[in-house]
Amino acid sequence: MKNNILKEILSSQGKCLIIPHQSPDGDCLGSSFTLSHCLDRHGIEHHIIMDDLIPSNYLFLKKDNMIKSDQVSGTYDYGIILDTSSKDRAGTTDEVLSRCSHLLVIDHHKTNAYFGDTNIVKMVSSVGELLFGLYEEIDYKIDTNDAIGLYTSIVTDTGEFRYSNTTSETLKVAARIFETGFDFEKISQEIFSNQELKKVILKSNALSGIELHGQNKMALLKVTQTMLGELECEMYHSDGIVEAGRDISGIEVSVLLKEISDKEIKVSMRSKSYLDVSEISLLFGGGGHIRAAGCTLNMNLQEAEQTIIKEIESRL
Segment near Mn ion (CB under 5 A); pick from 9-17, 155-163, 173-181, 257-265: 155-163
Q: Shortest distance, CB of residue 264 to Mn ion, whole angstroms? A: 23
Within residues 235-274, the interface with Mn ion by CB under 5 A covers none
Q: Which stretch binds Mn ion (CB under 5 A): 20-28, 41-49, 73-81, 290-298?
A: 20-28
Taking the complex as a whole, how short is the minimal distance between the CB of residue 285 and Mn ion, in angstroms? 19
Helices of type H across 196-300:
197-208, 225-231, 241-246, 277-283
Distance CA 66, CA 49 (A): 6
CB distance 129 to 154 below 8 Å: yes
The residue with its CB nearest to Mn ion is 27
Pairing of strands 211-213, 218-223: antiparallel
What minimum distance in Å lies between the beta carbon of 209 and Mn ion? 28
Decide if residue 129 touches Mn ion (CB under 5 A).
no
275 phi/psi in degrees, rounded to 5:
-75, 130
- Kindly write out the interface string for residues 55-84 of this chain, putting x where it contacts Mn ion by CB under 5 A and - elsewhere: ----------------------------x-
Instruction: Verify binding: residue 157, Mn ion, rule CB under 5 A.
Output: yes
Nearer to Mn ion, 77 or 83 (CB): 83
- Tell me the torsion sign for CA atoms 78, 41, 28, 2: positive
Q: How many C-beta neighbours within 10 Å does residue 41 have?
A: 15
Stated length of the chain: 316
Interacting residue with Mn ion among 27, 129, 146, 239 (CB under 5 A): 27
- How many Cβ atoms from other residues are within 10 Å of residue 210's Cβ? 16
Contact residues for Mn ion, defined by CB under 5 A = 27, 83, 157
